[in-house]
């Protein structure tokens, strides 16, 4: 697999939130404002990259019997480090993410990538996979946060847009979260499907061209 493909993979084809449907809880809970989505996404990216590197580096040392407790320990360590750093240097982000920051430990995206990718691939590739997955997650959260903030609060990244219509409060409540999430999932599935169709079309064309050229010969 090409290095760029590993990164791009996480953004659409295997987008953790929209295609793999992992980490749904923070996706729905923190995306009431675009800024929170960005903070959560970048926090998860940090943990994904570093736990990917550590787990990949130790993949031949950790016996498969104790791999899950080992992975969880490594992930929890990075989450706690992140939490302490955020509390010390970004106290505002800490208060807006609240309990979802420490809950990154049990975010299934992280353990999922440890099990599916980092435990089988080289260190650099695992870091790239973490970056791609993290960016895909961040992009989704920011997109969702932006849509919900504009519709539900009439602002974007905290800036009041002074929209002519009053904000639809339902979009910043949990039901509105599910609504936006469903539409984004459908959009991601559609984009992925369309890309695959195009690929198929490209693959079949040369084949049919070959057949027609053979026919030309026989004719």
Return the number of the residue (74 or 101) whose C-beta is nearest other proteins.
74
**Which one of 1, 21, 169, 187 is in contact with other proteins (CB under 8 A)?**
169
Find out whether 136 and 188 touch, Cβ atoms under 8 Å: no
70 CA to centre of own chain? 23
Q: List the alpha helices (DSSP H) in the chain.
A: 3-9, 24-29, 34-57, 67-89, 91-97, 108-113, 123-153, 174-218
Q: Is 84 one of the binding residues for other proteins (CB under 8 A)? A: yes
Which range in 13-21, 28-36, 119-127, 195-203 contacts other proteins by CB under 8 A? 28-36
Which range in 12-20, 118-126, 165-173, 195-203 contacts other proteins by CB under 8 A? 165-173
**Which one of 172, 180, 184, 188 is in contact with other proteins (CB under 8 A)?**
172
The token pair at 154 is: 């009439």
Rounded to whole angstroms, what are the CA distances from 142 to 82, 90, 149, 159? 20, 19, 10, 15
- Interface residues toward other proteins, by CB under 8 A: 32-33, 36, 58, 61-63, 65-66, 69-70, 73-74, 76-77, 80-81, 84-85, 87-89, 91, 95-96, 98, 149, 152-153, 167, 169, 172-173
């Amino acid at each position: 697999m090409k290095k760029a493909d590993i990164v791009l993979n996480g953004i659409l084809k295997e987008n953790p939130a929209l295609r793999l449907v992992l980490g749904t809880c923070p996706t729905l809970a923190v995306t009431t404002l675009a800024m929170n989505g960005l903070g959560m996404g970048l926090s998860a990216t940090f943990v994904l990259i570093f736990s990917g590197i550590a787990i990949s580096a130790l993949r031949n040392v950790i016996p498969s019997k104790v791999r899950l407790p080992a992975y969880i320990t490594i992930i929890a360590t990075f989450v706690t480090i992140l939490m302490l750093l955020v509390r010390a240097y970004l106290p505002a982000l800490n208060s807006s993410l609240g309990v979802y920051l420490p809950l990154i430990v049990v975010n299934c995206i992280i353990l999922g990538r440890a099990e599916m990718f980092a435990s089988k691939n080289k260190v650099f590739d695992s870091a790239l996979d973490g970056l791609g997955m993290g960016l895909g997650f961040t992009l989704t959260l920011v997109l969702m946060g932006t849509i919900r903030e504009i519709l539900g609060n009439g602002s974007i990244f905290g800036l009041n847009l002074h929209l002519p219509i009053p904000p639809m409060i339902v979009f910043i409540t949990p039901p509105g979260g599910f609504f936006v999430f469903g539409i984004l999932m459908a959009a991601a599935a559609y984009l992925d499907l369309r890309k695959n169709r195009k690929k198929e079309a490209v693959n079949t064309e040369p084949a049919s061209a070959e057949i027609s050229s053979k026919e030309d010969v026989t004719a």
